Every structure is written in structure tokens, then in C-alpha cells.
């Protein structure tokens, strides 16, 4: 019989702020975290609509050395874990092998890939940073968190596009349910607002072009929706077995009771609707 799993920590880094409390406060106030791109000139990427594309601009405030050695998608969850809302879980030697990390990203260090590719074109292979590969790969967010906090349990990452973070949380749930871990630091991070990242989604005609009011561009359930909005940020949960959480007197926020995953075997981006679903 699988064990019960609870949430004991939650934190966010996004356009509405750093830390769960401030983000929740801004959500209740009806604030939008979306604004025009400022990292680079995006005016040519959202034709036919003029101006800059609607998206989120987030500065992590990390040290300059880390910005060279880590991709932004690795720095964002680190910033969450050092924020005031971090969980009170203490990873001591007696529990370190039963605390894991599972942080996902749809793309990974896209900013690093573009930066180092430019160096290659301009100066040849000798200009490529020795930190290029470690900074770009998806699983380094999990790796850095593990190293800093001493979590020696299961360590992994998913890169399943928009589902990546949900898969990370769900897989972490199962690891605890089946006794492979007592606690998991899990969630996801994304930071792909770069010329190639935005340009690629714009080429797919996937992005909103509501550039005259970017704060209202994200409206997936609206009859006038016309594309999604790229963002940067990180969301992290701390999951624990109910038994371990109660034993250490943790503040239990919620219980995770299930998880499922499937594919519709239909198309790489378009969902399968009931109207087009095959019949038995």
C-alpha cells in the first residue's frame, strides 16, 4: 500500500514577485506579471502587430559569477530556495539519502546556448566557455540544489515541454509513495526569453500579438485568445511522506492524493478534441 504524501513547502519566483506571500498578495489584488520584453529588441518577432512582444521580464539578482556558470533556468529555483518562504526541512546526515530533488524545465539553458553559439561563430571553438555544457543542461537545477543542501536521494529532471513541472511533481509523489524517498524538492523553472526562444515560438504563430496591452495578453480561456505568453520563473514544492512530516512537526499545507499522465497520440502541438477522436 502506498504512503500518503503532503506538501510542506512552496515558493515562487515570477513576474509577480519573489516568495509565495507576495505573489499571492499580488494575485488577490488582480495585478499582472506580464510586461514588454526589455532584454532585447523584439519588435521584429511579432509581425504583423507592431511594438514589443508581450512577455515577462524577470531579473534573478544572482551574482555575476553564477550568471556565467549557470543558466537562468538553474538560478531561478535556487533563488526560490533562499527566499523567505523556504521550507523548514533540515537535511541532516541521518536523512540526507532519503531527500531527493526533481526540478524540470521545458528547454533548459537556452540563454547559455545562444550566448556560447555566438562566441563560436565570432571566435571559433576556443571561445566556448568550459561551463557551457554544465550551464545548459536541464538537470543542473536539481544538481545545484542537491549540492547546496546535501540532498543525496533521487535526483532527476524532466524536459517534457509544458508538462515538465507537473511530471516532476507527480514522479516525486510516486518516489515517496513507494518508499524511495521521505522528502522531495520538486517543481520547475524556465528562462527562454531570448531572441531565438521568442523567435522560434513566433515562427510557429504560437505567441500572442496583443502588444498594445501586454498585461492582458494571456487569456487562454477567452473567446478572443490568439496565442500564449512566454514567461520566466520557477515554482518549487517540498513534498514529504505524511509520517515523516508529522514526526518532525512540519507545517502541512496540503495533501497530494493522485497523479496521472497520458498522451493522445495525435499531433506534436494540437490537442485531440472529442470531434476528431477515433471511435472504437
**Residue 120 pLDDT:** 94
Most confident stretch, 49-58, 153-162, 218-227:
153-162
- List, as own/partner pairs, every contact residues 58-61 make where C-beta atoms lie below 8 angstroms and the sequence separation is at least 24, other chains included: 58/13, 58/14, 58/15, 58/191, 58/231, 58/232, 58/233, 60/13
**Residue 75 pLDDT:** 57
**Residue 60 pLDDT:** 39
- The pLDDT of residue 76 is above 70: no
Give me the residue spans of the domains in the chain: 5-255
Confidence category of residue 55, pLDDT binned at 50, 70, 90: very low
**Residue 209 pLDDT:** 81
Our CA dihedral for 258, 10, 81, 30, rounded to 10 degrees, sits at: 130
**Residue 20 pLDDT:** 87
**Residue 166 pLDDT:** 95
* Mean pLDDT, residues 215-221: 82
Nearest to 254 by CA among 173, 145, 192: 173
**Residue 54 pLDDT:** 43
State the Cα angle at 74 between 160 and 165, rounded to 5°: 30
Nearest to 142 by CA among 152, 120, 157, 132: 157
223-252 per-position pLDDT tens digit: 888 888 888 888 999 999 999 999 999 999
**Residue 59 pLDDT:** 40
DSSP 179-223: TS-SEEEEEEEE---SHHHHHHHHHTT-B---TTSGGG---TTST
Look at 34-48, 162-176, 231-245 and tell me which has the smallest mean pLDDT. Answer: 34-48
**Residue 56 pLDDT:** 41
- The pLDDT of residue 217 is above 60: yes
Is 5-255 a CATH 1.10.1740.110 domain? no
Look at 118-127, 134-143, 145-154, 245-254 and tell me which has the smallest mean pLDDT. Answer: 134-143
Locate 120 and state its grid cell.
Answer: 563560436
Contact at 8 Å (CB) between 106 and 161? yes
Amino acid at each position: 500500500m502506498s504512503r500518503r504524501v503532503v506538501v510542506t513547502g512552496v515558493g515562487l519566483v515570477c513576474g509577480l514577485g519573489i516568495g509565495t506571500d507576495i505573489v499571492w498578495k499580488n494575485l488577490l489584488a488582480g495585478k499582472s506579471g506580464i510586461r514588454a520584453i526589455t532584454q532585447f529588441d523584439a519588435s521584429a518577432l511579432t509581425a504583423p502587430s507592431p511594438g514589443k512582444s508581450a512577455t515577462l521580464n524577470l531579473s534573478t539578482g544572482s551574482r555575476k559569477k553564477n550568471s556565467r556558470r549557470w543558466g537562468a533556468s538553474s538560478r531561478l529555483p535556487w533563488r526560490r530556495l533562499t527566499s523567505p518562504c523556504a521550507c523548514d526541512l533540515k537535511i541532516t546526515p541521518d536523512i540526507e539519502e532519503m531527500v531527493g530533488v526533481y526540478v524540470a524545465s521545458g528547454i533548459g539553458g537556452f540563454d547559455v546556448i545562444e550566448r556560447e553559439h555566438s562566441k563560436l561563430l565570432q571566435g571559433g571553438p576556443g571561445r566556448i566557455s568550459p561551463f557551457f555544457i554544465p550551464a545548459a543542461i536541464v538537470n543542473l537545477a536539481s544538481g545545484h540544489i542537491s549540492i547546496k543542501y546535501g540532498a543525496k536521494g533521487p535526483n532527476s529532471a524532466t524536459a517534457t515541454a509544458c508538462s515538465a513541472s507537473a511530471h516532476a511533481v507527480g514522479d516525486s509523489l510516486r518516489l515517496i509513495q513507494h518508499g524511495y524517498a521521505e522528502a522531495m524538492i520538486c517543481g520547475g523553472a524556465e528562462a527562454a526569453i531570448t531572441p531565438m526562444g521568442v523567435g522560434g515560438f513566433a515562427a510557429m504563430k504560437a505567441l500572442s500579438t496583443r502588444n498594445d496591452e501586454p498585461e492582458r495578453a494571456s487569456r487562454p480561456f477567452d473567446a478572443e485568445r490568439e496565442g500564449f505568453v512566454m514567461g520566466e520563473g520557477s515554482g518549487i514544492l517540498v513534498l514529504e511522506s505524511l509520517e515523516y512530516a508529522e514526526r518532525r512537526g512540519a507545517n502541512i499545507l496540503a495533501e497530494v492524493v493522485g497523479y496521472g499522465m497520458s498522451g493522445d497520440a495525435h499531433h506534436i502541438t494540437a490537442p485531440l478534441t472529442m470531434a476528431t477522436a477515433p471511435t472504437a
